[in-house]
Amino acid sequence: MSSLNMVGVIMIGQLGAAPVAAVGLANQIFFLLNLVLFGITSGSAMFTAQLWGKRDVLNIRKVLGLALTLGLFVATFFLIIAEFFPEIALRIYSKDPVVIALGSDYLRIIGYSFILYAISFCFSAVLRSTGDVKIPLFVTLTALSLNALLSYVLIFGKLGFPAMGVHGAAIAVVCSRVVECAGLLLLTYRKKLPAAGKLTEFFSYDRLFARRVLKPVLPVVANEILWSLGITAYSIVYARMGTESIAAMNIVASLEQMALVVFNGIGHATAILVGNRIGAGDDDQAFRYAARSETLGVLGGVLIGLIILLSRNLLLSLYNVSPTVLDYVYQVLTILALLLWLRASNMILFVGIFRSGGDTRFAFILDGVIIWVVGVPLAFMGAFIFHLPVYWVYLLVMSEEIAKWTLGMFRFFSRKWIHNLALTVGD
């Protein structure tokens, strides 16, 4: 998914800085939706992974139903913003009228995919947490391969289609989301997997069940909302520094996502393994799995960081943007490469370990609050008080990761993050 998303950014990058900035800013709205859904589903996956440890399929389907309820509500909210208020939303990030106009058109089109995306997100999370990682992989690969192909055809006007630019990229996204959702549901029910419940099973939860599940889940959602708003604040800083700065950071974002994809996978796998062991009552093995994953994160971060350092010039050759943008990207990639091990370690720690152990309140304070106490103030000071270039502002942003890692390691070795949530809804 990350590689194909990067292909889309490269294609748009052939059209110039304004289209790159426009699509990047429009995707900030999708990014907010994505993170809220991630909060809902990763919070719910704490329960489904632990419930699968004791093979409690009925309650897994109730948790999925609750996740669908919350996910569809959130997706509808973002759909309304995308269709009726895109200009207002994008003016938060940029004052460039060309960027706002292009971004609004893109956002209106992709908004139609938000409901389908929420359904796919919820089902994929439950499938993974119950050990079935192949179906989400196959469906996502198929849908996003289609996205890449359609993007090429519609952006540049191939195979007899007119060149649609940014609009073509948006249409490709919607088509891929339709295929993704339909394929995921079809395979889930055809194979009669644990997620293949009836509507009556999904929505048979009562208030007591919902309260027990939401108590640890809501801090995860709040965490993602606060964190996503913090990332939005960073984007506002970069955008207000100029179109070249935000274009550079949008290019870096696609490369950064690619660099972190291994650790995102390790984090999700860790959540499943650790959650299953906690649900089965084997806390010692859960801790061992978590420790091994953290070690993989640090070592892998150092290795991939080195690869980024050695391939910076090759990566930059893929983009048709100004020399100033390329210079910004080069400098930011250097900082990213040197500190990637820190980002990787924190991703596994918060997504894969603390959440799977049900320690969501501590994770909320550390991940959702520190970004506002450390990262955002330093970013604003660097950009608007000291007027630093975008790469030094990015370095100030990374100080947030140092603070989180230091405090997070103390919590990890204390083992206070291990909580058996399956016992709270297993009756």
Cβ-contact 64, 203 below 8 angstroms? no
Please give the share of the chain, as a percent, with pLDDT higher than 70. Answer: 96
| pLDDT tens readout for residues 151-172 | 889 988 888 888 888 888 889 9
Give 404's pLDDT tier (boundaries 50, 70, 90): very high
pLDDT at 213: 83
pLDDT at 68: 94
d(CA 298, CA 357): 21
Q: Range with the lowest mean pLDDT among 12-21, 88-97, 131-140?
A: 12-21
pLDDT at 5: 56
pLDDT at 215: 83
Annotated domain spans of the chain: 2-425
Residue with the two structure tokens 């959602």: 221
pLDDT over 60 (residue 311): yes
Cβ-contact 56, 422 below 8 angstroms? yes
pLDDT over 90 (residue 38): no
pLDDT at 360: 82
- 298 vs 91 pLDDT, higher one: 298
Between the two ends of the chain, the Cα-to-Cα distance in Å is 38
pLDDT over 60 (residue 426): no
Between the CA of residue 349 and those of 50, 112, 174, 406, what are the distances in Å? Answer: 18, 34, 33, 11
Please give the share of the chain, as a percent, with pLDDT higher than 90. Answer: 38
pLDDT over 80 (residue 73): yes
Exposed/middle/buried for 117, CB within 10 Å: 0-12, 13-18, 19+?
A: buried
Helix axes 166-190, 17-53, angle to 10 degrees: 10
pLDDT at 226: 86
Cβ-contact 5, 144 below 8 angstroms? yes
pLDDT over 90 (residue 242): no
| pLDDT tens readout for residues 258-294 | 888 889 889 888 988 898 888 878 889 999 999 999 9
Q: What is the mean pLDDT of residues 317-339?
A: 89
Mean pLDDT for the chain?
Answer: 87
pLDDT over 60 (residue 296): yes
pLDDT at 357: 86
Q: What is the mean pLDDT of residues 398-412?
A: 92
pLDDT over 90 (residue 76): yes
| HEC-encoded secondary structure of the chain | CHHHHHHHHHHHHCCCHHHHHHHHHHHHHHHHHHHHHHHHHHHHHHHHHHHHHCCCHHHHHHHHHHHHHHHHHHHHHHHHHHHHCHHHHHHCCCCCHHHHHHHHHHHHHHHHHHHHHHHHHHHHHHHHHCCCCHHHHHHHHHHHHHHHHHHHHHHHCCCCCCCCCHHHHHHHHHHHHHHHHHHHHHHHHHCCCCCCCCHHHHCCCCHHHHHHHHHHHHHHHHHHHHHHHHHHHHHHHHHHCCHHHHHHHHHHHHHHHHHHHHHHHHHHHHHHHHHHHHHCCCHHHHHHHHHHHHHHHHHHHHHHHHHHHHHHHHHHCCCCCCHHHHHHHHHHHHHHHHHHHHHHHHHHHHHHHHCCCCCHHHHHHHHHHHHHHHHHHHHHHHHHHCCCCHHHHHHHHHHHHHHHHHHHHHHHHHCCCCCCCHHHHCC
pLDDT over 80 (residue 14): no
Tell me the pTM. Answer: 0.73
pLDDT at 343: 92
d(CA 258, CA 313): 16
pLDDT at 53: 76
pLDDT at 97: 86
Give 4's pLDDT tier (boundaries 50, 70, 90): low
pLDDT at 41: 86
Residue with the two structure tokens 């070592």: 299
Give 3's pLDDT tier (boundaries 50, 70, 90): low
- 368 vs 347 pLDDT, higher one: 347
